[in-house]
Structure formats: structure tokens, C-alpha cells
Structure 1
């Protein structure tokens, strides 16, 4: 997790112009001067431009570290200060630390000079809360034709989810500081703090910790329990999570809760409201027009969850905007013959396996490795641990050779992770862990746990994982956090060259689902009746089962048994790259990895219209148009195999289901032509339940398609019969 959260704040200057501050708010972590320099440098790098001043929000202990970092003898301080100079003109005039002490913020200029800027802590924190609202999608807008029904009974087009305000520890601390600063007098006196949902429990708890209060937090579960409550005799305070109408605060006053003891975290406006509002959206420039219900489908809000009578899915068309940033580099190093699969020829149970042999000899990678060793690997390192695969063994030897040249007088050992024991750590002063390709990081986690058991936490260590193909960016961040966090004041090191999230690593996937269906073919033979002769039906199901077994390490073939392949002009191959010039050599697994990475990029996309990810009230599916745009048989098959079943579930949308039905009818009727080369893959997706249409469309599709092929046994007919008999099997 990040140590800090940053944002920018604007204010009117004394000379009539505007002044801008970069604000860095730390979580409750221990800091070192080295981390101070790297954090501020990184924050300045990600700021849209150089600010007039920098404010740091933190604790008294963090202030001590910053003061140490600003002492004149610190050699890195001058480098940091130079970042605030542009064209020989000082742009960042001052660094100010806001220390939280005695329930308020105290300003300290780190250079010891007079405070030149007059940003108030309340103003800075409110701008930080605005940044969180925008970053974390706190405001939900109902899709077209829908309205939210709030617990108060209000019907409108928006819903504010206060629980989404913070997504990590630094963001949580920002909310805690804002609450503590605004309501410190009430929170410190209260023996009980009432909240309307558990979603804000951590916010209130953090604020209570700031003011040194041990008040009990009581959740009254929105309107349901409020009717049964009366104010306590002792001091209390009430925090409402969010409101668009002010109804909760009004209801509380009718239950004799005092208005001065009621606060709402986020409200659309503070005009006409009872109690105090921490963040009125109209005051920070977020104007929300509330539209009353006009006969729309209702999305009922229960607490902070949704329950909808109808949830039409959002369809997403895959486009160039979904190309992952690192995809071209992965194609360059692994695209031709270095992506192995599926479950075959790799000696493991992995769906895909990257062969790093070519990458390890690449000059670009070797330059990165040299720089990483020079700049990041501790000079105390005298042990290299590697995972047991051949690529990691070779990388460990490369690292050892380079390290030994730099540390001539220090012997450095190499050990495989499978042969570690406590005796081998008796004289260890620093550890470097090497694995060339990491998926979910299982091996790295095991090694990390062993190291924590065998050696002191203060012994430096670094994890070197040049290639990452995780499930998601979030999963990669969690792995990095697991490996680097430790009880010492400093984090362990983590080095990564290329990271390409490629989606789920679950044991249940398109291959396992198809294998399971193939084993149940005889159940269809025994118990399923269809408008096909028994001889043809039995023969077709046997052919389908044989096909599934034969092609369990690849995609299903065309009618004449040819492998699915790629034609020229694939959108996600760089036009001038080697892979785009040698299409005949591109493996099925390389195409699959590409599509899987593109889909995962779509799931994690920040733009709502391009995001292939469901929300609490809206599902998301792959648009049927994608199968027309990407009409190579292998691309259609890879979409079917790499999509989650929910992303191919058109049963909730009659319009999308009909489009998919019409396309599949054409595909199955043209099995013997190029247009229908992916027929077996489409039929398999129906048979496994990966691809779903409405019940009526499914019946029409299967009846017509089976009728076209019922005269003689075929693997396609067998898969269609499996799809028709799926309900019987289940």
C-alpha cells in the first residue's frame, strides 16, 4: 500500500493571483529520511506541474524524520530542492509540515523560515476529500431508464457511497484527519458515537484515535433501528454517511437527537440541512442535478448495497484504447515461440508458460538488470535465492556474475528455494530473491515467509521478478506490499521490469469446464431425447467427447481439422514489429495471452464506457459486435476462452441475446466455410454454459442448428446436443 496520498489545492494569493500547493498526507507509518526524499520526489513527479509550495500532513514522529531530512548535512536534500527549480528560478518556495498535535494542526516550515503561505488545514483537507470523491467514484449515477430508491424513500438519479471514500491506509488517514479536525470537541467528549452504516466505521474509528477518545461506536443500521432509538443520557455524537436530501438528519431530530450533535460526511448541499456537513459537494464545485423518478426501473438501496428489479447489462466493445501499455514489449520478447500452452509441454499445471530464454539475452533487459544491480541491490547481499525453474536458475547466475564483479572481496552464495534451511542463514547479511516470471507470486510468498522465520527482519533483502503476469494490477500491488512490508522502519526492495495483468488464474476455466462436459457425454446419451435419431445422436456425442480429449491442449479446430490461425492485420500487434511480419509463426497461446491481457485492461479501465467490470447495480458484458470486428476464427475462440462467464451472459438483455443468436445461426450454418471456422468453439461455449442467451433464443438457436446437422454424426452436432442437454446434466 502507498505510504501517502497526494493532491493539489488552489487558493487566492495575497497579490490577487492564485497559489497552488501540493499536499502529501501520510498514513501512520514509520519513516526514514531516505523514504522522505523518494516520496517527495515521486509526488512532485506525478504533480501536473511544479506547485508554489508543498504541505506535508503527518504525525509528530513523522515531523521529526522530516526535520532530520532537512538538516544541511544531508547530501540528498540539495538534489530534492533542485527539483523545485526551473530555468534557474525557484518555483517551490517552501516546504511546510502540518503536525497533528493536541487535536489541531501546527504549521512548521522545514527551512526554519517565516511561513509565506496561508493555506488553512481545513481548506487543504477539504480539497483532499474532493480528490477522493473523484478518484474513488463515490458518486454513482443510475443508468438510463433507472432511478435509485433511497432508504428515506427519495427517488432520484444519484447515490453517494461514502464507504468508497478511502481505498487504502493513507486515504483512510486523510478522512480521519478531516473528521478529527472538524469535530474534535464533540468526538473527544462523546462516550458513544452513532453511525448509520458499518461502511464508515473505520473512518470514525480513525478520527477517534486522532483525538484520543475511546468512545463506543454504535451502528444503528440506517432507518430500520432509528425508530427504536432514543438519545443516551451521556454525551454522544452522530455521523451520517451520506445524503442527497438531508432526510436522515431530519429524522434523527424527530427522535430528539440534538442538531449540534449530528454530522453528515457527504451531502449534495448544506443549504436547508440540519446538523453539520463535512463535505457539501456544491461547495467544492461538484454540482449534482437531482432528477425525480419518471416511471423508471427502481434500483433499491439497502444500507449501502443495491437491489434492482432489472439490471440490463452494459455492453463493451473492445478497441485500441484497451491495449495494455506493456503489451508491445511482451510481444517483442515472448511473441514468437516463447509463450507456451495450454497445460502442455511446460512440465507444470499452468495454463500458459513464458520461456524467458530470449529475453535473458536481450540487450535492453541486460541494461535494465545492470542498472538495477548498481542502483538498488544492497552491498550487504551475500546470498541469492532462486526459484527452481531453468529460467530463474539462469537469471540467478547472471545476477551472481554481475554482483561478484562489483563485490570482489565478498563471497556470494546461490541457493535454490527448495533447499533452504536455517543453518544456511547463520552468516547472511543481505538476501536477493530471484524468480524470472511471477504469476500470483506463490513462490515469492513462500520464500518471503521462510526468510521471516530464518533471519532477522533488519537484514536487507530484495525481490527480483523481471516479468509479472498477474491476475490484475491490484493483485500485483498486493504481492508487492506483502513482500516489502516488514516490522523494520524500512521496506524491503522489489524490482520488476515488465508487468502485464492477464486475468483470472483460477483452476476453473474454459479448458476445465469443457473437459467436465466431455466426461458427461454418456449421460446425455442415456437420458436425453431430441429430434435426432439415436444412432446419429450417439455417434455425434462420441465424436464430440473424442474431440474434447484430443484437443485438451489447444483450441478446437475447423471442420476439416485444421488449427485455428491468425490472418494479417491484428489490431493489437504493432504494425512494424517482428511479430506482425511473421503471422504464420504466431502460436495460439500467444494470441490467447494477448486477448486475455486486453480483456483484463478493459476490466481495469478507468473510463466507465470502456470498463468491462460490473458495478453494484449494473453488469457488464462483451458486446456481440466484438465477434464481428475480430472475425478471425482464432480471435473469436480466444475471446470465448478468456472471458469470464458473466461477460458472455446475454440472458438479461433480449436485444443483445437476439444479436448473438442471429450471428450464431449464421456461424453454425456455415461450418464448412471460413465464416464458420470457430463453430466448434461457439458450440463448446454454449455446452459449458460460458455463453448464455435468453431461454427463448437458446431454444430457437439450438433447435434450428441441430436441425441443420442432424442427418449424420459430427462433433459440432455432438456439442450442440450437449448444449441442449445441459439442463438434464446439471
Structure 2
């Protein structure tokens, strides 16, 4: 059980803006030890330091925090130092918002008046938005599909409010929001009507906050509602969710008072009967525009989809899944510019880009010059660049171009991010922030946060990130929104030349999963491989684990120890490009980068039939045909490593599982031939659980593979034994 839920809240008002880290506790008892560990954990989880920290909790929890802030607590100084980067860039205050039964009392820990204005209702609204996104509350129907709601209406959106919270701390966020917004009416109510038991925990939590013991009654359906009328005693009504406002309107027709009706989540609050706690248009949540006619219906029964048992849709990767910017990335990074795997100086980065060739390219220089001419404010007199060598060179190039353009009329300073606190910001009239390669923009977020502390929001600034390789297109959109939005009437600038989402390449990747399996292989168990002689079993597992360790910076090799490589002709390589003309010598990292980008483009494809993205009613897997179409060993390995485990989970489809099992059996049997060059990669995917078949097919595949390979020790036999251990543990 999580003790608290945390989120970041960006607060803008005419007096300025600030970013707050919000920690909302459940009702558990705290100790002083919890105070320090919880805040430290929450701060570490953020990409940049917040301006302040808000803690939402009870009076008992406040007393524990006050103990923690007492002078005799030695850990307090250590905690406060974690929130300090320099005198101006730091967590300026820690504020405990104490629930008093009606609202929140403000308590600045350590004493004094609050520095930043705060609105608990706005802070909680931001928290609810993060819960909606985190817990997949909003389901959008894909093209050619529509949801048929219990009311009979057709819509392209279905809202599952019951999924809003997944643990007690998250329930408390919802409870606080309901109690704060509707407490005045709920405190007088003797009976609370709800439309589904899925929101009972939220309403009960809110009533507990208010100290109210009202009866909570669910009426479940429109049919039941039409037979109900307001009771003589005071009451309150809570609708879980709506997309058209129909249920709340029906309550009005049944003579329920408008001030006693509230909907937790709705598309909009305009022209609605009663209140709306979270209006999706108010929090800028993206929704489809209209319902298509002649759609396949997805019927909703209660709060569930009737199509839950629908078999997985299989997606075959083809030319339409090629990102438009892929060719330019090959031009500048294809032959040696992609550093991998796990060789980056940055921790937990599978791949990084070497931008040295790009920065000297004539076409790039032409774009950069145009960007300065057309987009950069004439007020700019400070360039701040990230501390890596590529960003330093980008800062120097930009400084040269600006100096040539403006001559001696203006002095322009260029500093690395680590020296930002040495700048005299009283003389700064405009800022350019530069990083040559941005992932999801962690360094840009940090610099943006620091600039808020150093200078007024009205000083113009532009963020220059020529190359973007985010996890997803939506992550890139969120980054731009974070950097550009501010309290003024104008957005800050953002410049990007090439952007190519490549999926998640963080710490939890296929390489790390395989290393864990290799470590587990150091402990043998006589319960596995009973039909394999003990000395052969031990030797094979040792060979497999040693091979995994030797190739943690690449793919597992062929039978003869040679590295996996590409043959001539690859669908996503332009034949006239540098990579297309020399396919066999293209680095492994470039091939993997290409497949990762193609898969991510497939996950976000505009066409439903081509989209490799599951929904609440339909799972999606990579078609086994992809391993026949892309039959080069390195392409097969790249798919196995770049796919999410859910995209290779064929256990829910006996048909697809059977096809994959037959293909794998041939690959394992022909390991010594060209057809089976990627056999070790397939075996590793099975061992790590990345690739899943039905239990019956897995048993049959292992039985056949072990029987063929049991005569002599080999790394393939070792991986098959490790698969048997992982898939069918002995009790």
C-alpha cells in the first residue's frame, strides 16, 4: 500500500508562476522517519526542483511534520539541503495543508508567512488530471468503432471513473477534491445517491473527511433512476461520469435539485445540470471530435466492455509504418552516429547520438541561420547550453552566428548550465537555451525551472533542441507545452529541426531483463532438464550465462560466434542513402534504432488498422508474419528487443501461438544454418518472458528443442533450460 501520492502542479497567476510538488497522504499514521524519507523520495522522482512543496494531510500528520521540523531533529538540515541547488534555485518553502473538516489550513513548516499564493482546489484539480492520465480512465473509440452507452446513446468516448484511483492514497486525492468542492451540501445530506458502486470508495472517503455518516445508495441504472424522486430528508447525488450530461439532466426531470447534483468527470461543464468536478475540456484533455456513422458498436454493460474477450489484433509492419524523418536520421547518424548499446556516459541510456557530423553540416547550418533570423528575439543576449560536448559546440556555433549578425552593437554571453548562477541576470534581456539532442527534455526542464528563479517571466526566451528522440510524440508535445507556457500573454519559443520518437530506452529494457536471467542461471536446480545429463545441463547453463555477459553491449551471436548483420536491401533504408548502399556494414545500433522508431510510429499511427496500440477492449500483438517478412537475423533480433512484452504475448491467441511455435521450432532445429542465425535471440526472448506462447505450445516447443539439443552442451540448450525454469518453476 502506497503511503502517499505525488504530482507536480504548475500554477500561473498575474503575479507570476511557480511549480509545486504536491504530496497527498492517505490516513495512515506517520513517524518522523516517514517525514524525511517520503519527501526525499518525492524530490528524487522529479526531473527538476520545484519552487515549493505542498503536503496534504490530517491534523495528526501535521503534528508529526512539526516534530520533524523541530530544531532537535538532525536530519532536517540534510533534507533541506536536498532541495537547494543554489540560493535562488531551491525549494523555497514547505507548506502543510491541513484538512480541518471544511477546508485546508495553511501551515508553513518552520514558521513564517507563505511565499507563493496557493489554491487547494486548483492543486487537487491538477492531481485529478494526473490520475486520469496515469490510470487510463478515458477510453477513445478507434476509427470505425463507437461505444454504445447504457443510456442507448452512441459516443466515441467512454469514461471509467472507477479506475481513477488504484490505491488508498489516490482514493484520498479524490476524496479531498469531492469534500472540498461539495462539502457544504454533503455535510447536510442524510442520504447520498450514486449511479454505480464503482465510486463508493470515493464518496465514502469524502464523507469521512466531512465527519458525516450519511447513507450511500446506488441506483445503478437509468431505468431505476426514472422510478426515483427526491426524499424528504436532505440528500446529495453523485454521477460517476458522463459524456453528454444525460444522467444529471434526468435527475433534473425527476425533480432533484440542481445544487444537489454533481458529476465527477464530464466532457464539459457547459450547459450541464448540477456541478462537474473535472471537465475534460477545462484540463485540456485531448478527445476525438465526433462519432462516425456506420460504426462497429462496442457495447458497454455497467462499467465493462462487452468485447473484453475479443482476440488480439495482429499488426504486420510495412512501408506505411516508416516515419518521414527516418531518412534524415540515417543521413546524419546512420554510419557510426548512434552509440549503443549501454555504452552511454549517461546512466540508464540504451542509445545516444553523436552530433559532431551534424553540427558541421551545411544544410543544418542553413536551418540554424534561418531559425536565428526568423525566430530569435533581438533582445537575446545570453546563451545557456547543456554541459555535454555536443551542446557546448552548438552554443559556440550559435554565439558565432549571433555575433556576426549583430556585430559589436551587443555583447552576447555564452555559458554552460553549470555556471548559470554566476550570470548577472539584471543585465539579461533575452535568453536562448540550447541542447543538441533532447530525449524527453529533462535538461531543458531543469534550465527552465532555474530561469524562473533567476529572472522575471516577461524576459523572452527560446529553447533550441535541433534533434529530438523522445519516447513518444505525445511526450514531445508535453515537453513543448511545459517549456512554452508561462504567465504572460505570449508563449516562449521552441525550435526543433528533426524529431523521431523511438520508444522507451530506459533502464528496464530487453538487455537488463536478459542480464537478470543470466544471473539467475548461476544457481542450478536438479528439478529442471530431467532428460538432460547433469554435466551437460551445468555446462550449457554456464555457456548461456557467459554468452549473455559477453554480449551485454550488443545482440547474441550466430552459432559460429559471428555478429548478427544485415544483408543487402532493407525496406526502411533508402537504396541511394549511405546506409542503403552499404547494408552489411551498418552498425547494429543503427538497425535497432530504425526498428525501434518504426515500432513507435506504429504505436501512434493515425489509422486504427495499422496501429500497434492496445485499448481497454482489444489487445494488439506483432504479427508472426513480421519475422518471415524481415527474415534477416539482425532484424528479427531488433524486433524481439524493441517490442514491448505485451506486443509479443501470443498466449491469448491459440492460432497465433501455434504459428509462432512452429516457426520457433524450425529456427531452433536449424541453428547451425542461416535460417536459425537468430536462434539465441529467440531463446533469450522466451527465457525473459518477452515472448509468450500458450502453456501448451511452450511445453511442446521446449520438449522438442531439449530433445534435439540434449546430446552436447551448448548456449542454446542453456537458454532453453533457463526458459523451462522461468516458465514452469518446480513447486
**Which residue of the partner structure matches residue 161 of structure 1?**
157
What residue in structure 2 maps to residue 391 of structure 1? 390
- The answer to whether 1:329 aligns with 2:325 is no
Q: 1:374 to 1:616 in 2, by over 3 A?
A: same
Instruction: Give the superposition deviation at 1:555.
Output: 0.5
Which ranges of structure 1 fall in alignment gaps of 5 or more residues? 1-27, 31-135, 165-190, 201-218, 268-283, 292-297
Moved more, 663-672 or 437-446: 437-446
**Corresponding residue number in structure 1 for 2:516:** 516
- Matched with 2:670 is 670
Q: Once the two structures are superposed, what CA deviation does each residue of 1:448-497 show, in whole Å capped at 9, x if it has no partner?
A: 11111111111111110000000000000001111111122211111000
Mapped partners of 1:229, 1:452: distance in 2:
55
Question: Taking structure 1 as reference, are residues 400 and 258 closer, same or farther at Cα in structure 2, changes over 3 Å only?
Answer: closer
Q: For 2:422 and 2:221, locate their aligned partners in 1 and report how far apart those are by CA, in whole Å.
A: 57
**Per-residue deviation, residues 122-169 of structure 1 (Å, max 9, x unmatched):** xxxxxxxxxxxxxx98556899xxx989657x8x9x7652559xxxxx
Confirm or deny: 8 A CA contact 1:467 1:499 kept in the other structure: yes
Question: In the TM superposition, what is the alpha-carbon distance from 1:195 to its structure 2 partner?
Answer: 9.3
* Counterpart secondary structure, 2:427: coil
Task: Name the CA shift for 1:222/1:151 in 2 (closer, same or farther; >3 Å).
Answer: farther
Counterpart Cα distance in 1 of 2:296 and 2:661 = 39
Mapping 1:221-236, distance limit 5 Å? 223=220, 230-231=229-230
Q: CA-to-partner distance for each residue in 1:326-348, whole Å, 9 max, x for gaps?
A: 10111111111111100126565
State the match for 1:657 in structure 2: 657
> 1:451–1:552: structure 2 CA closer, same or farther, 3 Å change rule?
same
Once the two structures are superposed, residues 418-445 of structure 1 have per-residue CA deviations (whole angstroms, 9 ceiling, x without a partner) of 2321654342211111100001111111
Q: What CA distance in whole angstroms lies between the structure 2 residues aligned with 1:252 and 1:331?
A: 60
The separation in 1 between residues aligned to 2:228 and 2:446, in whole angstroms, is 51
Give the direction of change, closer, same or farther, for the CA distance of 1:681–1:140 in structure 2 (3 Å limit). closer
Structure 2 CA distance for partners of 1:460 and 1:251, relative to 1, 3 Å: closer
Deviation at 1:522, TM superposition (A): 2.4
Q: How far 1:229 moved relative to its partner?
A: 6.3
Partner of 2:375: 376
The size of the alignment, in residue pairs, is: 530
1:480 counterpart SS class: helix
* Contact 1:142 1:148 (C-alpha < 8 Å) held by counterparts: no
Superimposed CA distance per residue, residues 493-526 of structure 1 (whole angstroms, 9 cap, x where no aligned partner): 1100000000013311100000000000023446
Q: What residue is the counterpart of 1:443 in the other structure?
A: 443
The C-alpha deviation readout for 1:168-220, integer Å capped at 9, x for no partner, is xxxxxxxxxxxxxxxxxxxxxxx9999969999xxxxxxxxxxxxxxxxxx99
Mapped contact 1:591–1:635 kept (Cα < 8 A): yes
Closer, same or farther in 2 for the Cα pair 1:142/1:606, shift >3 Å? closer
Kindly tell me: are residues 458 and 159 of structure 1, through their superposed partners in 2, closer, same or farther at Cα, counting changes over 3 Å? Answer: closer
Distance in 2 between residues matched to 1:427 and 1:729, nearest whole Å = 71
DSSP-derived class of the 1:569 partner = coil
What SS does the aligned partner of 1:458 have? Answer: coil
**Structure-1 separation of matches of 2:296 and 2:361:** 58
How far apart, in 2, do the equivalents of 1:615 and 1:647 lie? 13
SS at match of 2:522: helix
The TM-score, its normalising length taken from structure 1, stands at 0.65
| Structure 2 residue aligned with 1:573 | 573
Distance in structure 1 (CA, Å) of the matches to 2:431 and 2:383: 6
Partner of 1:619: 619
Is 1:162–1:199's contact at 8 Å kept on the other side of the alignment? no
Contact 2:383 2:431 in 1 (8 A): yes
1:242 shift after superposition: 6.2
- In 2, the alpha carbon distance for the partners of 1:557 and 1:377 equals 50
Q: Quick one: structure 1 residues 643 and 231, their matched pair in 2 at CA, closer, same or farther if it must change by over 3 Å? A: same
1:81-230 alignment runs, 5 A limit: 138-139=140-141, 151=150, 160-161=156-157, 163=159, 223=220, 230=229
Hey, what does 2:412 align to over in structure 1? 412
Task: Pick closer, same or farther for the CA change 1:198–1:718 going to 2, 3 Å.
Answer: same
The answer to whether residue 593 in structure 2 is matched with residue 593 in structure 1 is: yes
Deviation track 1:70-112 (CA, whole Å, cap 9, x = no partner) reads xxxxxxxxxxxxxxxxxxxxxxxxxxxxxxxxxxxxxxxxxxx
Residue by residue over 1:552-582, the C-alpha shift from the partner in whole angstroms, topping out at 9 and shown as x without a partner, is: 0001100001110001110001122121001
- Structure 1 range deviating more: 223-232 or 655-664: 223-232
CA distance in 2, matches of 1:665, 1:559: 16
- Secondary structure of 1:725's counterpart equals helix
Aligned CA distance change for structure 1 residues 224 and 507 (closer, same or farther; 3 Å): farther
Q: Give the aligned partner of residue 708 of structure 1.
A: 708
Deviation, 1:527, is 5.1
1:141–1:591 distance in 2 versus 1, CA, 3 Å: closer
Q: Is 2:333 the counterpart of 1:357? A: no
The 5-angstrom pairing of residues 412-431 of structure 1 reads 412-421=412-421, 424-431=424-431
Structure 2 unpaired stretches of 5+? 1-11, 15-137, 161-187, 200-215, 268-289
Tell me: CA distance 1:694–1:254, structure 2 relative to 1, closer, same or farther (3 Å): farther
Shift in CA distance, 286/199, structure 1 to aligned 2, threshold 3 Å: farther
Asked if 1:541 is matched to 2:541, the reply is yes
2:480 aligned partner:
480
Structure-2 change in CA distance of 1:688 and 1:139 (3 Å): closer
How far apart in 1 are the matches of 2:550 and 2:654?
36
Secondary structure of 2:701's counterpart equals helix
Q: Which residue of 1 aligns with 2:530?
A: 530
Name the CA distance, whole Å, in 2 between partners of 1:196 and 1:140.
27
Q: Within 5 A, what are the aligned runs for 1:687-702? A: 687-702=687-702
Q: Label 1:687 to 1:546 Cα distance change in 2 as closer, same or farther (>3 A).
A: same
The answer as to whether partners of 2:143 and 2:607 remain within 8 angstroms in 1 is no
Q: Tell me which residue corresponds to 1:79.
A: none
Residues 195 and 239, structure 1, Cα contact 8 Å, conserved in 2: yes
Q: In the aligned structure 2, how far is the partner of 1:140 from the partner of 1:327?
A: 26
Bigger shift: 228-237 or 630-639? Answer: 228-237
Equivalent residue number for residue 92 of structure 1: none
Q: Cα RMSD (Å) of the superposition?
A: 4.3
Aligned equivalents of 1:198 and 1:473: distance in 2? 36
Asked whether the equivalents of residues 671 and 677 of structure 2 are also in contact (C-alpha less than 8 Å), the reply is yes
Please state whether the residue corresponding to 1:660 is helix, strand or coil. helix
1:631 is aligned to 631
Give distance in 2, aligned partners of 1:523 and 1:450: 49
Which secondary structure state, in structure 1, belongs to the residue aligned with residue 569 of structure 2?
A: coil
Work out whether residues 429 and 460 of structure 1, in 8 Å CA contact, stay in contact via their aligned partners in 2. yes
Is the contact between residue 603 and residue 612 of structure 1 (CA under 8 Å) also seen in structure 2? Answer: yes
The aligned residue for residue 717 of structure 1 is: 717
Q: Distance in 1 between matches of 2:261 and 2:435?
A: 54
Deviations 1:668-716 (A, max 9, x none): 0000000000000000000000000000000000110111111111111
Query: For the Cα contact (< 8 Å) 1:337–1:587, is it kept in 2?
Result: yes
Describe the shift of the 1:464–1:413 C-alpha distance in structure 2 as closer, same or farther (beyond 3 A).
same
Provide the C-alpha distance between the structure 1 equivalents of 2:444 and 2:217, rounded to a whole number of angstroms.
44
Could you tell me how far apart the structure 1 residues matched to 2:480 and 2:217 are? 38
- CA-CA distance at 1:384 after TM superposition: 1.0
Q: Aligned with 2:634: secondary structure?
A: helix
Structure 1 distance, partners of 2:358, 2:699, is 50
TM-score for both structures, normalised by structure 2: 0.65
Shift of 1:249: 8.7
- CA shift, 1:377, in A, is 1.3
SS in 1 for 2:592: helix
SS of equivalent residue, structure 2 residue 471: coil
Corresponding residue for residue 646 of structure 1: 646
The answer to whether the 8 A contact 2:385-2:433 is kept is: yes
SS at 1:433 equivalent:
strand
**Residues 141 and 159, structure 1, Cα contact 8 Å, conserved in 2:** no
Distance change >3 Å, CA 149–CA 368, structure 1 → 2: closer
Instruction: Give the Cα–Cα distance (whole angstroms) in 2 for the partners of residues 299 and 530 of structure 1.
Output: 50
Q: Structure 1's 575 and 196: CA in aligned 2 closer, same or farther, altered over 3 A?
A: farther
Contact 2:144 2:296 in 1 (8 A): no
2:599 aligned counterpart, secondary structure:
helix
Rate the CA distance shift 1:522–1:399 in 2: closer, same or farther, 3 A. Answer: same
